[in-house]
């Protein structure tokens, strides 16, 4: 019992360190972008803080900047000489000398201030691309061709005229390089008709396809509406991850196992596993697996989860708690790793913009939006999968944080840039009173968003605790 407790404590520590790693990398490089460009523009930086609240550790550099790590690790800030607060609101209680005026931020030309502010999000985008590039170069890239192995009967792809053997080359103007591109675009295309171009026996054909929407609930209780056109790749049912405390984990499944049959019926892909497990909640299934060349039979009873249908009804589905493995990665050249890194970063940004637009237009429910609690939970799961998934998750978070900081909300970088754009057009800044009102509104909006996402997280946790995963 003591060994089990120590093991659990160690797991929590590792997961906590993983969360701090992700958050610290994202925050540090965001603030470093502000800091470096501010120095280049001749602005005096008084504080570089990772976290808020009471200082845990700090030191002064040779330029007089206080570098500090604070007790609340949920963000950070760079404070300039003439900032009234950490949100870079103009104003200081101390009269500045002529020498100090030269290093003031708010006395700089508007284009320099805009550069300093934009440097934070730009640094997030840059570090995301660099992380993706490094991971692609070090670990290789899993490439699954976008050739269709199966078209599901009755689904939009079949109705539109797609056939097995078609190679998807383009969707809505986006060049398709692998099946991941297809999944990414289709799943985030709520309520939109897609123009899908395929190569069929050397001929280029284009079909309008309107994705069907399906409710999907992940292992953290997050329910999202995902697009599905009904095209499949038959990838061997190799297990990539086993969810802790799931039926599969209790039965002894391990990453790398290949499911070859269920109740004597041959399995050709992970879709076959889902088809067999989904209607078998509470009923024992005999899994035949190949473990490093040795066949084994394992009995598993899928647990019951509730899934909401597009018509609002709920159905019980079986789940054993395994995730598919990705195909064996292939080595790529460094220039190709760079190109793919930039492409993945751009895809993340577009996907986030699409998600925000879907929530605003009510194509997606806002209850799927999460905050620090959800991020910590996902990070904990990713930590268990190793360094490559953790680094890719860090790059994803960095790109998203960079984009969210560009939202036109006062106190965020995007709000500052809006003020500077107005100043550039008017040839003079907005009055101090107008800016103060803007910052007050911005603070209120940000606080409401913080409360909203944390309530979402707490409601999600409460449902899982009360209803066992709902």
Residue owning tokens 């504080």: 47
Closest CA to 104 of 115, 92, 114, 93: 92
Q: What separation in angstroms does the CA of 312 have from each of 58, 101, 214, 279, 427?
A: 54, 62, 11, 19, 54
For the sheet with 167-171, list strands across it. 174-175, 167-171, 194-200, 203-209
Helix (H) or strand (E) holding 376: helix 372-383
Residue owning tokens 């931020």: 105
SS3 199: strand
Q: Return phi, psi of residue 397, to 5°.
A: -65, -40
Which alpha helices (DSSP H) does 163-234 contain, by range?
Answer: 179-187
* String of DSSP letters for 251-287: HT--TT-EEEEETTEE--SHHHHHHHHGGGTTS-EEE
Closest CA to 42 of 105, 118, 133: 105
- DSSP-derived letter for residue 90 is B
In this structure, how many other beta carbons lie within 10 angstroms of the beta carbon of residue 258? 17
- Which residues are identified as catalytic? 31
State how far Cα 378 lies from the chain centre. Answer: 9
Residue owning tokens 């995730």: 323
């Amino acid at each position: 019992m003591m060994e089990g407790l120590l093991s659990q404590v160690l797991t929590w520590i590792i997961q906590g360190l993983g969360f701090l790693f992700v958050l610290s990398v994202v925050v540090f490089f965001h603030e470093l972008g502000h800091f470096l460009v501010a120095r280049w523009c001749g602005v005096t930086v008084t504080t570089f803080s990772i976290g808020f609240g009471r200082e845990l550790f700090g030191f002064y550099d040779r330029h007089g900047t206080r570098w500090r790590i604070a007790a609340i690790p949920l963000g950070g800030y760079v404070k300039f000489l003439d900032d009234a607060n950490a949100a870079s609101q103009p104003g200081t209680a101390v009269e500045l000398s002529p020498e100090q005026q030269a290093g003031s931020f708010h006395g700089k030309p508007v284009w320099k201030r805009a550069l300093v502010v934009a440097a934070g999000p730009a640094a997030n985008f840059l570090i995301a691309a660099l992380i993706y590039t490094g991971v692609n170069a070090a670990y290789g890239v899993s490439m699954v061709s976008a050739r269709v192995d199966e078209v599901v009967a009755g689904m939009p792809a079949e109705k539109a005229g797609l056939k097995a053997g078609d190679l998807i080359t383009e969707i809505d103007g986006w060049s398709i390089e692998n099946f991941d591109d297809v999944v990414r675009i289709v799943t985030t295309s709520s309520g939109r008709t897609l123009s899908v171009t395929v190569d069929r026996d050397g001929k280029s054909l284009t079909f309008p396809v309107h994705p069907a929407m399906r409710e999907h609930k992940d292992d953290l209780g997050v329910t999202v509406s995902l697009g599905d056109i009904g095209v499949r790749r038959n990838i061997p049912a190799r297990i990539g991850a086993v969810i802790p405390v799931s039926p599969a984990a209790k039965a002894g499944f391990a990453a790398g196992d290949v499911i070859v049959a269920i109740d004597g019926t041959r399995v050709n892909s992970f879709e076959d596993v889902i088809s067999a497990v989904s209607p078998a909640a509470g009923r024992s299934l005999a899994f035949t697996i190949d473990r490093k060349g040795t066949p084994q039979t394992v009995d598993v009873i899928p647990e019951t989860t509730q899934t909401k249908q597009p018509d609002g009804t709920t159905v019980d589905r079986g789940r054993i708690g395994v995730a598919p493995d990705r195909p064996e990665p292939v080595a790529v050249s460094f220039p190709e790793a760079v190109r793919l890194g930039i492409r993945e970063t751009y895809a993340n940004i577009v996907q986030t913009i699409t998600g925000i637009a879907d929530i605003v237009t009510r194509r997606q429910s806002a209850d799927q939006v999460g905050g620090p609690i959800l991020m910590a939970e996902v990070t904990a799961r990713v930590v268990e999968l190793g360094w490559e998934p953790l680094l890719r998750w860090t790059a994803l978070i960095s790109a998203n944080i960079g984009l969210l900081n560009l939202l036109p909300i006062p106190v965020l970088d995007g709000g500052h840039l809006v003020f500077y754009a107005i100043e550039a057009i008017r040839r003079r800044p907005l009055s101090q009173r107008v800016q103060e009102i803007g910052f007050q509104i911005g603070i209120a909006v940000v606080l409401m968003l913080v409360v909203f996402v944390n309530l979402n997280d707490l409601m999600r946790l409460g449902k899982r605790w009360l209803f066992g995963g709902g």
